Structure 1
Amino acid sequence: MSDSANVRPFVLVHGAGHGGWLWARVRDRLTAQGHRVFTPTLTGLGERSHLLDASVTLETHITDVVNVFEWEDLTNAVLVGHSYAGWVVSGAMEQLEKRVSALVYLDAFLPDDGQRGVDFLNEAQTEAFNAAREKGEISRPGPNSTALRIQRPEDAAWVDSKITPQPIGVSLDPVKLTGARDRVATKLYVRTPLFPQPRFDAALARCQADPSWKTAIMENCGHDPMVDDPDAVVALLEAL
């Protein structure tokens, strides 16, 4: 059990095609240490996949996260964004600056004001995105365990069974940032280099060069370290 002085809320936000289910192992470990843990599933994904429609935008997902803080009266919280959720938590910080004491980007995008998700997609994602738009579809396929570099076969099967399509509308609007993210006192960028993503390599280098950021590298994990090594993720979060 953690010291009561160090017990605080954690809000863990998943990436593209995933859901709150992704954090089950980390959530259970943090809860056992006495923390309050929230793992919201973004609209149109996971168990909320029945809500997928053309109206889902980045602002929808930002509101999903902000509303957790509002309805649960959260303050002094640790906010974690994984992968695509780097866009979400960056935007959410514009409304949550006084409620978040530590911000974590877990192998995640680190966008600047005015950038759009569609401009950050890799070649395969861009192809799927464009194909979906040409067909008038509102989503593109989510990632699979092979692309995610999930380390254990049993975990790969579990992740593949849960992945849902990613709404394309979230990648079309520019994120609106005024610097709230940068004013958070404690910021951590975590990279899992087994997953090839030049955007994340650049984000890590950017944070390593900025003394206001902490950085960490998880050498033996794929893109979903909360699946591959939940104990290591918990250790990083509690060390904040």
Structure 2
Amino acid sequence: MPSASLKTTRRAALGALAAAGALAAGAARVEAQTAPKTFVLVHGTWHGGWCWRRVADRLQSKGHKVYAPSLTGVADRSHLLTKDVNLTTHVTDVVNLFKWEDLKDVVLVGHSSAGFVITQAAEQIGTQVASIVYLDAFVPQVGDSLISLANPGPRKALEEAVARGDLVAKPVPAAAFNVNEKDRAWVDAKCTPHPLAAVVEKVTAAGSHERIARKAYIRASGFKSPVFDETLARMKTMPGWKTYEVASGHDVMVDQPDRLAEILLEVA
């Protein structure tokens, strides 16, 4: 029969093994949480990659890789605007970024009208996306266009622009999106006309985004939008979706960069 001292030694050894296992598991969790991630941040109508700067800085400071491209025809690529720039062009912008940068296990984020872009892009790059995030954004179905889903006010303005045969949709003031007052002048100065063909073209394929493992919808509660309220309510009932509400104007990346970066890391 083992002596009392031998039993004590065995218990101590087992305890040490258990403690070592717990430390290893904890270290693995920390490593998983802090392992570098890749984020692709896609802006909405009238904006450009510039609007993500604050969020990108926060993510990059933690060692993550961030791409925030400006879509063709706006911001630093406004010189490429033609009548042929449409939703397909913007989808190709994102798809080609994935292709030439060999991106995998990406957190793909679309703000506002970029919900159209990331939804259709997912048809081609869905297997390379680990998490997809709709930031106060449209989640369209086949046959939808920005004009068909827009809130009544913007929809009327867009329809009038189409009727006139305009090439672009003029920017809406930042105040209309309830951007915080100190940043409104900056946002207004940066926004550029948006190719009208991009808001007219209908989604031709959708569904692959639902097969992405991690999905999230973030609603900016400081921006009035019946469309986004309805979308949030629908996403809350959808299996596999996480939903968040942030006290912010529509440009969450401008108003609440710390909170947004925190959420993006949580869903990564």
TM-score by length of 2: 0.85
1:238 aligned partner = 265
Matched-pair contact (CA < 8 Å) for 1:2–1:34: no
Q: How far apart are the structure 2 equivalents of 1:63 and 1:211?
A: 29
SS in structure 1 of the partner of residue 82 of structure 2: coil
Matched-pair contact (CA < 8 Å) for 1:128–1:141: no
Check if 1:109 corresponds to 2:133.
no
Check if 1:224 corresponds to 2:239.
no
- Aligned equivalent of 1:62, options 65, 69, 91: 91
Cα offset for 1:176? 2.1
Matched-pair contact (CA < 8 Å) for 1:141–1:164: yes
Check if 1:208 corresponds to 2:224.
no
2:60 aligned partner = 31
What is the aligned residue count?
238
- Indicate the structure with greater helix content: 2
RMSD (CA atoms): 1.6
Check if 1:161 corresponds to 2:189.
yes
Check if 1:137 corresponds to 2:172.
no
Q: How far apart are the structure 2 equivalents of 1:155 and 1:64?
A: 28
Q: How far apart are the structure 1 equivalents of 2:157 and 2:138?
A: 19
Q: What amino acid maps onto 1:106 in structure 2?
A: L
In the TM superposition, structure 1's runs of 4+ consecutive aligned residues that sit over 3 Å from their partners are 1-5
* Counterparts of residues 58-207 of structure 1 (less than 5 Å): 58-151=87-180, 153-207=181-235
Q: How far apart are the structure 1 equivalents of 2:173 and 2:115?
A: 19
Matched-pair contact (CA < 8 Å) for 1:142–1:166: yes
Cα offset for 1:45? 0.8
Q: How far apart are the structure 2 equivalents of 1:227 and 1:177?
A: 31
Matched-pair contact (CA < 8 Å) for 1:2–1:33: no
Q: What amino acid maps onto 1:213 in structure 2?
A: W
C-alpha distance after superposition, 1:124-183 (max 9, x if no partner): 3223223322332111112211111012x3211111110111111012222122421100
Q: What amino acid maps onto 1:15 in structure 2?
A: G
Cα offset for 1:229? 1.0
Structure 1 vs Structure 2: percent identity of aligned residues?
44
TM-score by length of 1: 0.95
Q: How far apart are the structure 2 equivalents of 1:165 and 1:32?
A: 32
Q: How far apart are the structure 2 equivalents of 1:12 and 1:129?
A: 25
Q: How far apart are the structure 2 equivalents of 1:6 and 1:108?
A: 28
Q: How far apart are the structure 1 equivalents of 2:253 and 2:241?
A: 21
Rate the CA distance shift 1:103–1:203 in 2: closer, same or farther, 3 A.
same
Matched-pair contact (CA < 8 Å) for 2:147–2:159: no
2:13 aligned partner = none
- Aligned equivalent of 2:70, options 31, 37, 41: 41
C-alpha distance after superposition, 1:17-59 (max 9, x if no partner): 0000000000111111111100010111111111111101100
Q: How far apart are the structure 1 equivalents of 2:226 and 2:184?
A: 23
Cα offset for 1:190? 0.3
